[in-house]
């Protein structure tokens, strides 16, 4: 287990500012990767918060600043629904980003969810990561340049939910995680893959997240209850972009410096 990293917590005025900060990080890192001469690998988050990010990135303000052709788009997790379903994380990214910017389908790696079992979907996506990250066999670990994550009111991230099997999937890259509260599966990158991200950026907004955010950042280490705490053992740079509502219960002390960006 790696040592606890000190999270970089940035408090912003609104969810729009959270999205803007995320768009700036994405744009800067993508251009740095281009200058360094390697593809930029990003794992997109699910949920509703990324929608604001996608809309910014596809807007005139950012669209022409991003080297779209040098980016490979992956997903941190996916709901167990067809890619045409309104709950699909892929559909959200397609509708709000991919259909509006110059990316080739060959640059996009959706998690398979149709005509396949959850277990085979996880296995297939794992093989996609092994191939696209040029990993030698099963022992390699994909290190994403950037992983976007959200956090649920219960402290989950990606589809690592409290008290579910994915929290212990430390020998695989992708897990088919049955989530009792939904009565269905989610396909998710596993904790080791999330922890290996070079830059991990959480986007958290809204007062419903405040109690969990306080526990995740400042509470006793209990990832069974608060899976987002797993990123305390992130091997890269972990940034928390949070709005003032989500940060409203953050107390002084504990891990992580809290910066207010106004």
User: Residue 144 and residue 223: Cα distance in Å, rounded?
Assistant: 22
User: Residue 44 and residue 42: Cα distance in Å, rounded?
Assistant: 6
For the bound state, the minimum distance from the C-beta of residue 204 to ligand 6PG, rounded and expressed in Å, comes to 7
By CB under 6 A, residue 48 contacts ligand 6PG: yes
Residue from 157, 164, 177, 195 binding ligand 6PG (CB under 6 A): 157
By CB under 6 A, residue 197 contacts ligand 6PG: no
Cα maximum dimension of the chain: 50
Residue from 152, 197, 223, 234 binding ligand 6PG (CB under 6 A): 152
By CB under 6 A, residue 223 contacts ligand 6PG: no
Task: Choose the stretch contacting ligand 6PG; rule: CB under 6 A; options: 8-16, 62-70, 76-84, 133-141.
Answer: 76-84
User: Residue 211 and residue 246: Cα distance in Å, rounded?
Assistant: 8
By CB under 6 A, residue 113 contacts ligand 6PG: no
By CB under 6 A, residue 150 contacts ligand 6PG: yes
Helix axes 15-36, 49-57, angle to 10 degrees: 50
Burial pattern 99-124, b for ≥16 Cβ within 10 A else e, equals eebebeeeebbbbbbeeeebeebbbe
Taking the least distance from each CB to ligand 6PG, the nearer of 22 and 129 is: 22
Binding residues vs ligand 6PG (CB under 6 A): 45-49, 76-77, 79, 89, 150-152, 156-159
């Amino acid at each position: 287990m790696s040592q606890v990293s000190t999270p970089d917590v940035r408090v912003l005025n609104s969810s729009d500012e959270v999205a803007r900060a995320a768009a700036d990080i994405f744009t800067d890192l993508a251009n740095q990767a281009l200058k360094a001469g390697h593809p930029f690998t990003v794992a997109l988050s699910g949920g509703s918060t990324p929608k604001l990010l996608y809309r910014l990135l596809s807007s005139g303000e950012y669209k022409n600043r991003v080297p779209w052709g040098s980016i490979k788009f992956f997903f941190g997790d996916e709901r167990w629904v067809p890619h045409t379903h309104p709950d699909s994380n892929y559909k959200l990214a397609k509708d709000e980003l991919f259909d509006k910017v110059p990316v080739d389908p060959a640059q996009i790696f959706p998690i398979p969810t149709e005509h396949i079992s959850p277990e085979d979907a996880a296995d297939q996506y794992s093989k996609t990561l092994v191939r696209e990250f040029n990993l030698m066999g099963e022992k390699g670990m994909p290190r994403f340049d950037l992983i976007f994550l959200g956090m649920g009111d219960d402290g989950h991230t990606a589809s690592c939910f409290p008290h579910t099997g994915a929290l212990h999937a430390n020998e695989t890259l992708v897990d088919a995680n049955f989530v009792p509260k939904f009565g269905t599966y989610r396909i998710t990158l596993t904790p080791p893959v999330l922890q290996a991200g070079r830059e991990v950026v959480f986007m958290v907004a809204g007062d419903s997240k405040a109690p969990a955010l306080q526990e995740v950042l400042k509470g006793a280490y209990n990832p069974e209850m608060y899976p987002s705490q797993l990123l305390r053992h992130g091997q890269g740079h972990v940034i928390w972009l949070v709005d003032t509502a989500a940060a409203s219960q953050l107390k002084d002390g504990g891990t992580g410096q809290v910066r207010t960006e106004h």
